[in-house]
């Protein structure tokens, strides 16, 4: 499904098997609920974003690891079909990363990630792929690999670095500030400000983006769920609309947004155009169950933001 136009994207990130239970509502602490589903599907924020970008025609290489268990096969299914280059995915002793997910009737999810093989994506591991990273036009990172692997990938990058720090984990501030854009939701944006030692003064998204820009980021994209997104560059904030949809499962829709964003950036689009497209892709993904299984291709009729 890849083309050979545009800049090369290298994703250094996690590959998980997602074990998903459907529940009417999320359990309270100490509560047991009956659910349904229990199926395993391909996930991991790194792999999700790689698949999303590759299915949209971008040239993508995935750097990551799976384990020697049976989950590995399931975790790689969509990557195989997406056309992403998988030659930098290692198989390491032990289990594949596992995400335990609950999805409620309103489409909202909770996720617990057990890193498994993703814990082997250290600086030493990343160094083995230094040439790929150095030559990449865009390096895309998330927060599900060890911090030293994340930091080495940024240090090796000679192109654009896009960081979706989800989950927000402690990483080097200098490496984090290379993000262009930093891609976060409101909650993550506030946590990043905490991490940088400048706690947010407000929960207002526009102010959060402004405060992040004041911390030295070249650009910030903040996703706001049904409210769309904000694109911030020094001196300019732009609201990005999102299509109105009926959410079925929001698992991985943020990753669909991230993958679509870098796919467009790799074609030379500006941040506002890329985020406008990404909002439509993220919305589409939320109307279908699962993470990678819900992602569009180039021929998909995406929902529109005009009504
Ligand atoms: O963002 C969704 C993803 O988070 C899931 O696929 C799960 O594997 C976790 O990484």
Whole-number average pLDDT of the chain: 96
Is 255 an active-site residue? yes
Give a yes or no: residue 307 inside a domain: no
Which atom belonging to ligand 1 lies closest to the Cα atom of 144?
Answer: 10
Give a yes or no: residue 305 inside a domain: no
* 8: Cβ contacts below 8 Å, ≥ 6 apart: 59, 60, 61, 135, 136, 137, 138, 266
Give a yes or no: residue 2 inside a domain: no
The closest of 200, 170, 168 to 182, measured between CA atoms, is 168
User: Is the beta carbon of 16 within 6 A of some atom in ligand 1?
Assistant: yes
Residue 6 binned pLDDT confidence (cut-offs 50, 70, 90): low
Q: What pLDDT was estimated at residue 108?
A: 87
- Residue bearing the CA closest to ligand 1, atom 9: 44
User: Is the beta carbon of 113 within 6 A of some atom in ligand 1?
Assistant: yes
Give a yes or no: residue 298 inside a domain: no
Q: What pLDDT was estimated at residue 2?
A: 42
Give the pLDDT confidence of 36-87 residue by residue, as tens digits. Answer: 999 999 999 999 999 999 999 999 999 999 999 999 999 999 999 999 999 9
Give a yes or no: residue 243 inside a domain: yes
Instruction: Give me the torsion for CA of 210, 212, 215, 221, rounded to 10°.
Output: -100
Give the pLDDT confidence of 184-223 residue by residue, as tens digits. Answer: 999 999 999 999 999 999 999 999 999 999 999 999 999 9
Q: 79: domain CATH number?
A: 3.40.1190.20
Residue 4 pLDDT exceeds 50: no
Give a yes or no: residue 131 inside a domain: yes
Give a yes or no: residue 137 inside a domain: yes
**Structural domains of the chain, count:** 1
- Residue bearing the CA closest to ligand 1, atom 2: 252
Catalytic residue among 93, 180, 255, 301: 255
Give a yes or no: residue 153 inside a domain: yes
User: Is the beta carbon of 129 within 6 A of some atom in ligand 1?
Assistant: no
Which range marks the domain in which residue 247 is found? Answer: 8-26+37-291
């Amino acid at each position: 499904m890849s083309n050979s136009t545009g800049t090369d994207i290298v994703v250094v990130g996690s590959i998980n098997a997602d074990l998903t239970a459907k529940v009417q509502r999320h359990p309270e602490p100490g509560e047991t609920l009956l659910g349904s589903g229990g199926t395993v599907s391909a996930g991991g924020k790194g792999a999700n974003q790689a698949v999303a970008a590759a299915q949209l025609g971008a040239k993508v290489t995935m750097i990551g690891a799976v384990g020697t268990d049976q989950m590995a096969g399931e975790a790689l299914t969509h990557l195989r079909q997406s056309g992403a280059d998988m030659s930098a995915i290692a198989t390491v002793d032990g289990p594949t990363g596992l995400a335990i997910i609950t999805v409620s009737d309103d489409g909202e999810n909770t996720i617990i990630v057990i890193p498994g093989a993703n814990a082997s994506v250290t600086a030493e591991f990343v160094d083995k792929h230094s040439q790929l990273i150095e030559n990449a036009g865009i390096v895309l990172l998330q927060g599900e690999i060890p911090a030293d692997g994340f930091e080495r990938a940024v240090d090796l990058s000679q192109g654009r670095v896009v960081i979706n720090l989800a989950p927000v984990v402690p990483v080097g501030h200098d490496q984090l500030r290379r993000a262009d854009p930093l891609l976060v939701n409101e909650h993550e944006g506030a946590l990043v400000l905490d991490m940088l030692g400048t706690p947010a003064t407000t929960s207002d998204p526009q102010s959060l983006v402004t405060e992040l820009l004041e911390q030295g980021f070249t650009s910030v994209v903040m996703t706001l769920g049904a409210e769309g997104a904000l694109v911030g560059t020094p001196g300019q904030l732009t609201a990005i609309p999102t299509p109105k949809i009926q959410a079925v499962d929001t698992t991985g829709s943020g990753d669909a947004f991230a993958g679509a964003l870098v796919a467009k950036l790799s074609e030379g689009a500006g941040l506002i155009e890329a985020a406008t497209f990404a909002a439509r892709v993220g919305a589409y993904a939320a109307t279908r169950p699962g993470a990678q299984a819900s992602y569009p291709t180039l021929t998909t009729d995406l929902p529109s933001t005009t009504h």
